[in-house]
Amino acid sequence: MSTFERDEYKWRETYFVLFDAAKRPSLQQVEAMLKDLNDRFELLNPVADEDGRFESLTIMSPDDYAALDISFEAGDEVREQGASFYQELKPSVSDADERKRLARLPKCDGRFDLLHFEHMTPAVAESDDEDEMLDPSALLIVLDALVELVDGVGVDPASGTLL
């Protein structure tokens, strides 16, 4: 079940990790990495392909009032998106390290999509401040760990930044 199908969760943002699809980890590697990050994460609906490689899973992080749906994509569409990100982000990148990461984007043919959801408790739903309860730490911790796991490049398309 996708978190989109859960009424008590509201989608907030999507981040990406682009990488060489040959470095795609197994589901077992991803699950072990996530359990090491935070023993309070609840891992749901893990899916692997026929070779045991990661396809998708959901992370529930009750302490952060958050959930993440993570899925894997590969192929020409990912390469095209990497080239598009490269063109969009090129004017704003000035740091030498960021330029190196940026240059890798058009070559990437694998991608993790991280969809970040907020758990809409009754207190949050009644609040005037939409971001009052949502803690982005689960998203950022998982994003950093996935970038490291696959030697990838994290992208926040909303802000136009590399992570």
Domain extents for the chain? 3-162
* Mean pLDDT to the nearest integer, 35-50: 96
Among 86, 25, 83, which residue's Cα sits nearest to residue 57? Answer: 25
Tally of CA atoms within 13 A in the half-sphere of 130 that contains its CB: 5
**pLDDT score, position 128:** 54
Nearest to 26 by CA among 16, 18, 34: 34
User: Which one is predicted more confidently, 134 or 123?
Assistant: 134
- Examine the pLDDT at 133 and tell me if it is beyond 70: no
pLDDT of residue 71: 98
In the predicted model, what is the mean pLDDT of residues 93-114?
Answer: 95
